[in-house]
Structure 1
Amino acid sequence: MRRPGIQDVGLAVCFVLLAVIAFRPSGVVGGRLREWRAERQVLARYREEWTEAAANRRSVLGEDAAPHVIFEFSDYRCPFCRSSHETVNAWAASGRTRVVLVHMPLSDRSAQAARAAICAEKQGAFARMHDHLMTNDDWEAGEVDWESVAVAADVPAGTRLVRCLNSPATTDRLARDAALADRWRITATPTFVSGRARHVGAASDGDLEKLIDP
């Protein structure tokens, strides 16, 4: 039997060093393990808070009796949110999925749009205002006449909506949505979340299907 030579010992030492480098916290494998553990912690938090979060947020598309629930963290000026809009609407209309929209505005203009959607929701007209904001740009430039936007969106009481925009209750609602995004470590829009997984970015039918498949 051949005795290990200097070359063999050198190779063994190299393999050990490579393994140490890869698995240390700052190494490739160590970094992936850290990311995997963080993702598992976030998913566990989704499951812990799921029922309460779904019950306490009313910017909803679809039927309450739908067997599946997906949260969408969204910004009205986000191009990928807009490109997903028709797909999300179709899923909500199918009766299979209730989509709970969590407002995550990334600019002052988007925050005003989110406030308008919240105020329309209080009149039972969230879906109409949401659709209008996602598919029109009459609110994106200059001084916005939100009463006219409400009329265009078929929200019945435009004056009431304008009074609601900067109310403490609306501000509190936006803060609660922001707090949920922070707890669930949502950092980009759109992000779609189910009780078992999440998808970041524009969503296709296949992407949403993966969120609800057992």
Structure 2
Amino acid sequence: MTAIRTFLAALALAVTLLGVTGAQAGESLDEAQEARIREIVREYLIEHPEVIVEALQALEAREQAARQDSLKDRVVAHADGLFNDPTSPILGNPDGDVTIVEFFDYRCPYCKRAHRALAEVLEADGNIRVVLKEFPVLGKDSVTAARAALAAVHQDGYLAFHEAMMANEGNLGEDRVLALAASVGLDTAKLQQDMASEEIVAVIRRSYALAQALDITGTPAFVVGEKVYPGALTADQFREIVRQARGDS
């Protein structure tokens, strides 16, 4: 903010110098004085374009802070659906002292990257609870994969299936989804039957509604405490967020 402060100081000095005569006479600046001030401002900005950059950065910071304040209120309003929905699968420690809510899509490469980073953190920290929100936004195959994963809950096979689909790097069409299901020991005939249930459709609809309420439009996205973190976080970023959530100094 140094450049902006310097600019404001220079502008204040220009106004003072140009307006001193008028101020002494109790008059406002005349047109010539106002034109000169505009010229001084223009010349300064041409010579110091970094002022514009800093001004834009300051504006962005204010807008981001206002957005986070708004999101905080919305996270609080939807806390029960985010953190306590019994239909949302759980990773890590179900009784962990920090909860991370993850919105993801099995076909999203950034989700897979974040999944690996989060797995690293979970392996080292046994006191984190992760709430998974199936949020298929990348087309029909994504919806099929999400419905299949949720159907696997009825066979107590969600976590193994979830890991298999997250590890998959290629196509994830229905045939591949069913092959992965079979590879982790799921009954694929039952899986297909359960995938069509209204219960599973409702779970995904609730994820869409929560995402919309929090302005989450892409994957992955994470909610921790009262904050929303969009994008593929690194292991170090996860650790820092967890540290902050615990109030560690």
- The interval holding the TM-score normalised by the smaller chain is 0.7 to 0.9
Q: Write the letter of the residue equivalent to 2:70.
A: Q
Amino acid in the other structure paired with 2:83: A
**Secondary structure of the residue that 2:233 maps to in structure 1?**
coil
- Measure the CA separation in 2 of the matches of 1:203 and 1:182: 21
Report the Cα offset of residue 52 of structure 1: 4.3
1:91 aligns with 2:121: yes
SS at match of 2:102: strand
Q: Give the Å deviation of 1:51.
A: 4.0
Q: Which residue in the other structure is 1:126 paired with?
A: 158
Aligned to 2:207: 177
Structure 1 residues 173-212: aligned runs within 5 Å: 173-212=203-242
- The change in CA–CA distance for 1:52 and 1:11 in structure 2 (over 3 A counts) is same
Kindly indicate whether the alpha-carbon contact (under 8 Å) linking 1:133 and 1:139 is maintained by their aligned counterparts in 2.
Answer: no
Gaps of 5+ in 1: 16-26
The structure that is helix-richer by fraction is 2
Matched, 1:40 2:86: no
**Secondary structure of 2:76's aligned partner:** helix
- Shift in Å at residue 175 of structure 1? 0.6
SS of the equivalent of 1:64 reads coil
1:153 aligned onto 2:184: yes
Q: Distance in 2 between matches of 1:48 and 1:177?
A: 15
Counterpart in the other structure of 1:140: 172
Letter of the 1:100 partner, please give it.
Answer: V
Distance in 1 between the 2:69 and 2:208 partners? 21
The alignment's TM-score, normalised by the length of structure 2, stands at 0.70
1:167 corresponds to: 197
Separation of aligned partners in 1, 2:83 and 2:122: 15
State the match for 2:112 in structure 1: 82
Query: Contact 2:100/2:222 (CA < 8 Å) preserved in 1?
Result: yes
Distance (Å, rounded) in 2 between the aligned partners of 1:31 and 1:96: 35
Count matched residues: 200
Considering only CA atoms, is the larger Rg found in Structure 1 or Structure 2? Answer: 2
CA drift at 1:116: 1.0
What SS class does the counterpart of residue 70 from structure 1 fall into? strand
Q: 1:98 corresponds to which letter in structure 2?
A: R
